Chains A and B, each alone.
Chain A
Amino acid sequence: MLESSNSPVAGPLLSVENLKVYFPILGGIFRRKLGEVKAVDNVSFTVNRGQTVGLVGESGSGKTTIGRAIIRLNEPTDGRIIYEGTDISKLSSSAFRPYRKKIQIIFQDPYNSLNPRLSIFEIIGEALEIHFPQMSRDDRRARVAELLDKVGLKRDYLDRYPHEFSGGQRQRIGIARALAVDSQFIVCDEPVSALDVSVQAQIVNLLQDLQEELGLTYLFIAHDLAVVEHISDFVLVMNNGKIVESATAEAIYENPQHDYTRKLLSAVPKL
């Protein structure tokens, strides 16, 4: 399943055009709309197949909202999100369903993103149950075991629960869950920000290995420019809902154009 789904054709897999996501500010006894927060304000970019685009910015810059809009956890106010030629931003939820297989997300906090009452098999296998209802339980178990293998966990962790694992191991479980179905495009929303630097290196390497092996495409969201520069082919710098600079990873470091990019660069601790 994993190996077959990604064709080697280059070109944009995803393009975001003039995306706007506004959140209403409600108030008064009738909860009238008093104003709006422009979380994402007219943002456009493309992500090529098999590449990693890094999205950096501080808390509140709108980077997570973009990631969530792509997987339809936030409804876009305006603009288009084009995936393999189809505008997915306005599809009905049933029409969007096939795309839920292809587009996945890995969350920041490995402690809150895994249901503590489900076993690892149930957490990873849930997506299989939904998207491949014809699959037998044994097949699902075999598939989940294979996924655990792929992310560097032991196969016999299948029946354990999230609390038995460290932060890094939990993040591996989150990655296995994102890979369970026909994943092509993964929104990595601060996947290493909550981890120790030593574990961060392991997870970043794992993501890169999986990308090479499976031809995955990543939107890598983070606030740490050093990590983003390392993993990305192309970097977008966001501030206050807008992309203020976009360039190759090398150019961002060697020749930053925008003041805000320079501010982010200077904030990275120097060794």
Chain B
Amino acid sequence: MSTPLLHVENLGIHFGVGGDVVKAVDGISFSMQPGETLAVVGESGSGKSVTALALTQLLAMPPARIVSGKIEFEGRDVLRANDRELRALRGKQIAYIFQEPSSSLNPVFTIGYQIREVIELHRPDVDDVEREIVSALDRVGIREPAKRLGDYPHQLSGGMQQRVMIAMALACQPKLLVADEPTTALDVTIQKQIMDLLKELKKSSNMAILLITHNFGLVSDFADRVVVMFRGKIVETGPTAEVLLNPQHPYTRALIECVPKLGQKQRRLKVIDYAGIK
């Protein structure tokens, strides 16, 4: 098999020292091929976001400590990369979109300025930066993008802000997009728009997407494969349809069942019985 785009092996990340150590990520391994869509599903505290941040060493260390394992991006060891190499990796090769678009954008700069910054920094060869910014906004479905360049983040709705974040992330044509709960702060209708947009972008480019979410509902028609995390460990992994239709681990089953389903009114929602999961 060819070199995977991303290869994580036996990764362990701890917080704190002495007797008070939290094993946020406890020896996980997974790989992604170029163009593949992988979903990491788990609850708050399962270690999924910490894993995502570790991919480009965005974790504040301390308090975090990487205690074991390796992260390879196109065969190169990220954990041994120096600052210059990391800067080339972040944004250019691996781009992120986060949960809260309003706190990811800088409130005192226009969106045009913020996208320009990304392009000028990572793609110095681009001649017509202005046109590149407009086409970046156009690609994420912002109407009349040329007129929006002077807008400040607060003038946009949450859904529009997230589109701007995606435009910024895609401006450098990254090989891997890490989407960390990209729609959790948004309404369901906007959530659908953003997920549809990501689906389209996935089709039109060969970008791999790592989707991080707590909601199995988002995964079903989006990801090729799923990794289920629970308390820092991967408890199950497999092709999406297989995991959804035939979950092997009791935690996976519980996480799928606790989502209310339209038209199947139950008297009570199933809750996760943590005591029953080892």
| Complex Cα–Cα for A229 and B218 (A) | 19
Is A31 part of the binding interface, using a Cβ–Cβ cutoff of 8 Å? Answer: no
| Complex Cα–Cα for A263 and B44 (A) | 29
Query: Which of A198, A205, A265 interacts with B268 by CB under 8 Å?
Result: A205
CB neighbours of A202 from chain B (8 A): 271
Q: A196-B214, A266-B192 are in contact. Are A229 and B271 (CB under 8 A)?
A: no
Is B187 part of the binding interface, using a Cβ–Cβ cutoff of 8 Å? Answer: yes
A271 touches B255 (CB 8 A): no
Q: How many residues of B contact A (CB 8 A)?
A: 35
The 8 A CB mask of A37-72 against B (1 = contact, 0 = none) is 000000000000000000000110000000000000
CB neighbours of A267 from chain B (8 A): 188-189, 191-192
CB neighbours of B195 from chain A (8 A): 269
| Complex Cα–Cα for A266 and B259 (A) | 16
CB neighbours of B261 from chain A (8 A): 226, 271
- Tell me what chain B mostly uses at the interface: helix, strand, loop, or mixed: loop
Q: How many residues of A contact B (CB 8 A)?
A: 34
Query: Which of B188, B221, B256 interacts with A268 by CB under 8 Å?
Result: B188
CB neighbours of A266 from chain B (8 A): 192
How far is the CB of B14 from the nearest CB of chain A, in Å?
Answer: 20
Kindly name the residue among B157, B158, B187, B268 whose own CB sees the greatest number of chain A CB atoms within 10 A: B187
B44 touches A226 (CB 8 A): no
| Complex Cα–Cα for A202 and B270 (A) | 8
Is A264 part of the binding interface, using a Cβ–Cβ cutoff of 8 Å? Answer: yes
How far is the CB of A261 from the nearest CB of chain B, in Å?
Answer: 12
Is A118 part of the binding interface, using a Cβ–Cβ cutoff of 8 Å? Answer: no
The 8 A CB mask of B217-253 against A (1 = contact, 0 = none) is 1101100000000000000000000001000000000
How far is the CB of B80 from the nearest CB of chain A, in Å?
Answer: 35
Is B258 part of the binding interface, using a Cβ–Cβ cutoff of 8 Å? Answer: yes
Is B75 part of the binding interface, using a Cβ–Cβ cutoff of 8 Å? Answer: no
Q: Given known contacts A58-B189, A271-B217, what 16 new A-B pairs fall within 8 Å (CB)? A: A58-B190, A59-B158, A198-B258, A198-B271, A200-B269, A201-B258, A201-B271, A201-B272, A223-B187, A226-B259, A266-B192, A268-B188, A269-B217, A269-B218, A269-B259, A271-B216
24 sample A-B contacts, Cβ–Cβ < 8 Å, listed by A number: A166-B44, A167-B44, A198-B214, A198-B255, A198-B272, A201-B269, A201-B271, A205-B268, A205-B269, A208-B268, A223-B189, A229-B263, A229-B265, A250-B265, A253-B262, A254-B263, A263-B189, A264-B188, A264-B189, A269-B215, A269-B220, A270-B217, A271-B256, A271-B259
By a beta-carbon cutoff of 8 Å, the part of chain B in contact with chain A is 43-44, 157-158, 187-192, 195, 214-218, 220-221, 244, 254-256, 258-263, 265-266, 268-272
